Amino acid sequence: MRITVMGTGYVGLVTGTCLADLGNDVQCFDIDQEKINRIEKGDIPIYEPGLNALIERNVKTGRLSFSSDMKSSVAYGDIIFIAVGTPSMEDGSADTRQVLQAAKSIGSLMTNFKVVVNKSTVPIGMADIVKETIDTELNIRFKSDESARPGFSVISNPEFLKEGSAVDDFMRPDRIVLGIESNESGNIARDMMRKLYAPFNRNHERTFVMNVRSAEFTKYAANAMLATRISFMNELANLAERVGADIDSVRQGIGSDPRIGYSFLYSGTGYGGSCFPKDVQALQYTANSNGIPLKILAAVESVNQRQKYVIAEKISAYFDNNLEGLTFAIWGLAFKPNTDDMREAPSRVLIKELLSRGARVIAHDPVALEAAKAAFQEDFKDHPEFSGQLTFSENAMEILDGADAMILLTEWKEYKSPNFSQIKSLLKQALIFDGRNLYEPQVMQEQGFTYEGIGRRASPVKLHTTSLINGTAQQLV
């Protein structure tokens, strides 16, 4: 099949490349000619394991091409995926201007039947607006000759790709959600999409067909649920520290229940990236606009923002609220491993907090250093003095030399089994703040480290809670 993908960002590049690898002819469009030139030279703008090799292979076979010519790109595909960015606005709503511009271009240039697929994460009801936009353009073009007007169908096909494993997620999907209208053009679209996704349904049916708004809602609901699990565990982790429980043992205890499962139950410094923060806010915006505020999601977002400061508070408490002149070595800057994505990364909150208190930071990340430099340059626009307090290094061990403490913020594989004897010899004191619970508290204590995780302690603490005994509140110690 012939496919056009509008947008060469994270979703667009992965979608287009993977569809080409399945044997389709795919053209990826972007208005940025410089970006297209970079991609054609092999300079891929995002880091995603396996993607570079996949692009190179499919470009060589001729199944994958890139263009900044809108007219030829609209003409190219029988199916056109809109996979452009929908960042958050200040009020939490999704910025859909790029989606609408793509729709307008399709309507002004299409000459034959098209299936227009909303792959971008868009507000509920956006497919109707895209349809109206295309209709308006076609009405202008074919006002005098209605019979020549081409047909089209706008459908919703949300993506469920995790950064760091997006290629595998696309090639081995848990489910394929299609939101399609029940009419003649919708029936054509359904048949075309089933043909496109047939390779994924050979063992068992993975495709769920529903109405368009249900499909749009499904994307938001999925991310909101996952974000809720993370914030829920982070709140429990903070309580676990106070009462002497180990949150990882709790995770295993509840995760073994098949009704709960283990996924997204890891406590840490809060979620980041482009999806969870944006989608939680957008769903809340939709809910508030419809007079149905989602109180649980409001709490999820509040807990997540609060969690990003937990490590800073632990550090401040350890050093008696005086960080002036101290140096901290940070391992991991990206919001999660196997990506260079710095959007909403907890490292940005922590580093800014440390610098504002007079500390110096030296940071390492296996992949995200360049993205981090750009992110902090933006963050420090109003605080140019911070720039001299933050440096980056490509050597993880080097940055520990003479540092007052090590802070781990991203659970990269190369951080999982380091030489702790060497770490201990390099640090001024054997002190580790682990924002991802990558290490075992008891093991760290046995090796002579002072260790602070999230919801984990090497030894029990005195309880500060109350119990109702014979009708009287008694202090437990």
Active site residues: 275
How many helices (H) does the chain have, and how many strands (E)? 17, 16
Q: Which residues contact 48 (CB under 8 A, 6 or more apart)?
A: 10, 13, 14, 163, 164, 166, 167, 338, 339
Distance CA 79, CA 66 (A): 16
- HSE (side-chain half, CA atoms, 13 Å) at 408: 25
Q: Distances in Å between the alpha carbon of 280 and those of 43, 69, 163?
A: 32, 34, 17
Q: What are phi and psi of 470, to 5 degrees?
A: 50, 35
User: What residues pair up with 329 in beta bridges, in sequence order?
Assistant: 362, 406
Q: Where are the beta strands (DSSP E) in 63-201?
A: 64-67, 79-82, 114-118, 152-156, 176-179
Sheet (strand 390-392) strand order? 390-392, 360-364, 327-331, 405-408, 431-434, 450-452
Distance CA 268, CA 303 (A): 12
Distance CA 311, CA 296 (A): 24
Length of the chain: 477
8 Å CB contact between 1 and 79: yes
Give CB contacts under 8 A, 24+ apart, made by 104-108: 104/133, 104/134, 104/137, 105/70, 105/74, 106/74, 106/80, 106/134, 106/137, 106/152, 107/133, 107/134, 107/135, 107/136, 107/137, 107/138, 107/141, 108/137, 108/140, 108/141
Q: What are phi and psi of 89, to 5 degrees?
A: -85, 170
Q: Which residues contact 1 (CB under 8 A, 6 or more apart)?
A: 24, 25, 78, 79, 192, 195, 196
